[in-house]
Structures are given as structure tokens and as C-alpha cells.
Structure 1
Amino acid sequence: MLKKSVTVLAPAKLNLSLDVVGTMPNGYHDLDMVMQTIDLYEKITLRRSEGLNLTLPGSFVPVNDKNTAIKAALAFFHYTGLLAGVDMTIYKRVPVRAGMAGGSADAAGVLVGLNDLYDAHLSISELCAIGAGIGADVPFALLGGTCRVRGVGDLMKALPPCPECWFVVAMPSVGVSTPEAFARYDTMGSPVHPDCEAQEQAVRSGDLAAVCAAAGNALEHCSGAEETPAICAVLREHGALTAQMTGSGAAVFGVFDDEDKARAALAALKPGYKQCYLCRPTRGGPRVTVRRPLKK
């Protein structure tokens, strides 16, 4: 069936742990992380076209050649050799400069959507190879679920699903620049170094308390996000098993084993923060939810 358009849902991610374990010869930081996709989605609609266009309704994210969605489309057409185009509309729900990989989700969603729209039949390995050239988090954004991720995001190991839980996520009023966060880390270091191996084993054994006990983010101390401690305090006061920043910031989340406690925490945070979410862990990356046939 030739398709006129497809719609894709691409999930955001949280870092259940993030450690900086060294510096690579190329100057990039060597990371060790456990990453988790959640049911907060970017909605991406792709339509057959002769050109290449991107629309971001209601978003202040710039539409230019640096946008990950445009990079993904160009990389897909280059790899496949298809002489085609696409009109892309992305309804952004994931906060920007949050450490939740919204841009990577966009790129992953575009790759998955174009693969389906044009029946290119690329494997997930091929999509990940394309994605790695777009951004460090794109391969994980394609795979989704629960993963141990190392290096600069290029070494991934799929784990069993995260134990059942609820995440309450709050975005502070000011975002964090990833390069600036790592630059501050180089200057300040961090007193926090989570045990990612212990967390992986806790995920494997389905022990949520142990997952949370091994959590932590080495970038949180030097993020410069002033609201993080206050948000973490509210989350813990309402029963979060752990609370921390995700990625390079600035979003903060708590992990709950009780939905009522999670909803109470969400209600406590909403008056002070416009972007607050109650989320669950998901078991995969972007998925096509709507296919519209091309009329003959």
C-alpha cells in the first residue's frame, strides 16, 4: 500500500543514572548510564512531498538545518538514495533543554516514519547507524525501553523492562545547555557517582527499591539549575523513592511505587511549574500509529 502520510509517536527519556567515567581521546566525555523511555511523546506527522519542509506548531525551537528532524530526513534520503521529499509537522510536548532527548526523539521518529512511509525496509541497526550521525542519544531514542548506555551513547545493551512505577517530572523555569553543563563538570567535578552496574542488576531482578538506591546523576551538582533541590525536596516529601535531575538538565523527576503519592506530588508541583507530567515507563522507541493511503 502506497501511503500519503504517517503519524509517529516518539517517547522522551529519563536517565535513571548518569555517571561520567572519563574522557575519550577525542575530548568527549565517557559516560555510563541507565536510560528509560517514558510515555511523554512528540507527535510527528510525515507527508509525501517533492520538497523538504518542517513545521513546529506552537514551538519556539528554530526551524533550520541544525534541527534534528531536518538532519534525520536528509540523512535518510542520502542513505537510501530515494529521490523524494517530506513535509514534517512536529507537535512538541517534551520540554526543551531539559535533558529528556526531545530533539533525539524527533530525529528517531522521523527515521522510523520515513522508513514506513516509503517502505524502505531498513533494519533497526541501519536506522541506529544513521541516527548516530545525527546525535548521541538518537540510537537509544530508536531502541527505547530500558537500556544500559555507555561511551557517548554508542554502546547500548537492552535490559528487561523497568519495574512498574510512576515518574513525576517537573521542568524548571530555565533550561540547561548541555555543553555548558559538561564544561562546568570539567571545572567542578562531582561528589555523585551512581553505581550503574548495581542499577542494571536491580532492573534485571525487578527490584524498584534497589533501582532507586543506585540512582544518581554526576552532572546534577554542577548543572547550575538553581531550582533542582527545591523540586527534589517536594518529590521526596510526597513519597518519591528517589529524586534527581535527568541528563544534563534541567528537568527533575521522582520515582514512585504508588500512583496516589505520585499524583499528590504532581499536584504540589503544578502551581510553581508550568511543565509537570505524570509518566510511566515504556518498552520501545517510536511507533507508527496512523497510516493514510495514497489515493489513486
Structure 2
Amino acid sequence: MKIKVKAYAKINLMLDIVAQRKDGYHDLFMIMQSVGLYDTVTVEKIKGKKITLSCDEEGIPLNEKNIAYKAADAFFKANNIKDTGIHIDIKKRIPHAAGLAGGSADGAGVIVALNQMYNTNLSNKELCQIGVKIGADIPFCICGGTLLAQGIGEVLNPVKPLRKCFILLAKPKTGVNTGNAFKAFDENGKVHTPDKLGMLYAMQSRDLEQICSKMENVFEQFIEVPERVYIKEIMHSNGALGTCMSGSGPTVFGIFLNKEDAEKSSEELKNYAKDIHICTPVSKGCKIENE
């Protein structure tokens, strides 16, 4: 038996760090949006009890360090399943270490596939309870669409979906260390707090221009991405309603009303960005393609 899942990337329309927690994590306020860029995760039953992995991208661990492996292991343990022989194949399209939840999307895809494969019939809430033990973004990647995420990312509430638009993703060559970014917040605090209430009003009214004017990511106050300024300038000069960094970066995204403007911007960005994609909002985190 084989199940194939489209596991969608996410962007953060807003990301605020609310407080440091006693357990070392941070309380967050995030407006998260699934986008049409996806990895393809295929799960197949095999003989034996081993979890094996393959991936078409070099540098991705193919052992218990991979989030997809951890997600499968957690699913089996949560459901007391002994027949654990599966092979997970991942076709990567979401850039690695980009702030787009590529690893979490793969983990979510595995959990969704296994729920179908083993007929466990768990609700999204129950799947999220398994996923959050592996990664804070996995619950969102299981549910997807347009959601307000709080706590460490596991407390999810729906907000109205984005209107039709085109989202240009541009990942610079500069890398980002998320741990150092959180450490900078812990040591220095933040310079500016995003207008969370204003963003919620804009989301509920589905006013795209107002949403774009409220987009903000506090990580931009702590993380130095030299290309970010140029990427944003190019996007704005080509008609982007708004720009923002996603997650802990370094990917910057712009929201456009017209695909032609996004395409023109993408051409001009080639000197500044390693991975460039144009996509649209989607209403789910994972989509089963076949059984």
C-alpha cells in the first residue's frame, strides 16, 4: 500500500514573540498561511519493522534525525502500532532551512498519510497532539489554510482566508541560525511590537491592502540578512502590496495582485535570491493525492 501527500509550505503574515517561557521556549503570536509550494511525501508499507527514508535532495538526513522519521515513530508509539515497516520518500521543492516549514511539512505529511494507511481515523486535533511533540510548526502544517497560531505554535484558531493573490518567495543565499535569533530576543528584547489587533481586524475584513500594511516579523529586528533590503525594494518597485520575512528567515515574500508583476519581480531578483517561487494561498496543509 502506498499513499502520496502534497505537503505545503507556510509563510508568516505576522510573527511576534510575546514572552520567554520557563521551559526555554517562547510564546508566539503568528498569522500563518499555507501556500502552493509543496514537497511530495510518499509513504509505502514494506516488510519488517524498519522506517527507511529516501530524498532527492543532498544533505537531508536519512535516519532518525529527519523530522519525517521522528513523526512516523511518534505516530506508531501514540497508536501502539507494532507493524512499523514503512518507506518514506520525499521529493523536495520547499527550500531547506528557509523559514517555510519544509521539514515540518514533511513530518505533517507522514502523520496524515499514516492516519489513512492504518485506518486510525484520528481527528486533526489528535494528529496535532502527536505532531507538536516533534516540532512546533507541525500542527499548523497538518491543518493548514489561514490560522492564528499561539503558544509555541500549537494553539490554532481559524481566521478568514486570504483573497486571491500571488505570493513571490525569495530565499537569499545568506543562512540563518534560529537559536541565535531567539537568544538576541532574550538578551535585548524587541524594538517594536507588531499591531496584532489591527492585523486581526484586517484579516477578518479580508482587506488585502490593510493586511499587507500590517505584516511584520519581529525576527527582522534580530536577524541580519544583507540581501533582504534589496529583495524588498525590488518587490515594492514591481507593485508588491507588502513584503515580509517568513519564520526565522531568510526567505522574504511579497504579495501581488497580478501574476505579471510577480513574474517581473522574480526576474529582477535572480542576483539576490537562491530559490524563487511564485505561488498562491491554499486552504489546507496536506493533501492526499492517492492511495
Please state which band the TM-score falls in when normalised by the shorter chain. over 0.9
Write the distance in 2 (CA, Å) between the matches of 1:33 and 1:268: 30
Task: Provide the residue aligned with 1:43 in structure 2.
Answer: 40
Deviation at 1:181, TM superposition (A): 1.5
Residue pairs, 1:206-285, within 5 angstroms: 206-285=206-285
Task: Provide the residue aligned with 2:76 in structure 1.
Answer: 77
Residue pairs, 1:98-109, within 5 angstroms: 98-109=98-109
SS of equivalent residue, structure 1 residue 204: helix
Task: Provide the residue aligned with 1:294 in structure 2.
Answer: none
Task: Provide the residue aligned with 2:196 in structure 1.
Answer: 196
Deviation at 1:219, TM superposition (A): 0.5
Residue pairs, 1:278-293, within 5 angstroms: 278-291=278-291
Q: 1:159 to 1:39 in 2, by over 3 A?
A: same
- Conserved? CA contact 2:171–2:251, under 8 Å: yes
TM-score, length-normalised on structure 2?
A: 0.95
Deviation at 1:162, TM superposition (A): 1.2
2:11 partner amino acid: L
Deviation at 1:277, TM superposition (A): 0.4
Q: 1:171 to 1:214 in 2, by over 3 A?
A: same
Deviation at 1:184, TM superposition (A): 2.2
Deviation at 1:188, TM superposition (A): 4.1
1:118 aligns with 2:115: no
Task: Provide the residue aligned with 1:15 in structure 2.
Answer: 12
The percentage of aligned residue pairs carrying the same residue is: 38
Deviation at 1:279, TM superposition (A): 1.0
Query: Which string of whole-angstrom CA distances, capped at 9 and with x for unpartnered residues, describes residues 140-167 of structure 1?
Result: 1111000111121021111121122111
- Conserved? CA contact 2:52–2:62, under 8 Å: no
Write the distance in 1 (CA, Å) between the matches of 2:272 and 2:31: 29
- Conserved? CA contact 2:9–2:105, under 8 Å: yes
Deviation at 1:272, TM superposition (A): 3.9
Task: Provide the residue aligned with 2:21 in structure 1.
Answer: 24
1:53 partner amino acid: T
Matched pairs, number: 288
Q: Where does structure 1 lack aligned partners over 5 or more consecutive residues?
A: 292-296
SS of equivalent residue, structure 2 residue 129: helix
Write the distance in 2 (CA, Å) between the matches of 1:42 and 1:178: 22
Write the distance in 2 (CA, Å) between the matches of 1:121 and 1:98: 32
1:34 partner amino acid: I
- Conserved? CA contact 1:166–1:255, under 8 Å: yes
Write the distance in 2 (CA, Å) between the matches of 1:258 and 1:188: 40
Q: 1:232 to 1:188 in 2, by over 3 A?
A: farther
Deviation at 1:193, TM superposition (A): 2.3
Query: Which string of whole-angstrom CA distances, capped at 9 and with x for unpartnered residues, describes residues 37-64 of structure 1?
Result: 0000010011102221011112312223
Task: Provide the residue aligned with 1:52 in structure 2.
Answer: 51
Residue pairs, 1:147-166, within 5 angstroms: 147-166=147-166
2:280 partner amino acid: R
Task: Provide the residue aligned with 1:169 in structure 2.
Answer: 169
Write the distance in 2 (CA, Å) between the matches of 1:228 and 1:271: 12
SS of equivalent residue, structure 2 residue 116: helix
Write the distance in 2 (CA, Å) between the matches of 1:59 and 1:92: 10
Q: Where does structure 2 lack aligned partners over 5 or more consecutive residues?
A: none
Deviation at 1:124, TM superposition (A): 1.0
SS of equivalent residue, structure 2 residue 115: helix
- Conserved? CA contact 2:176–2:250, under 8 Å: yes
1:255 partner amino acid: I
TM-score, length-normalised on structure 1?
A: 0.93
- Conserved? CA contact 1:188–1:222, under 8 Å: no
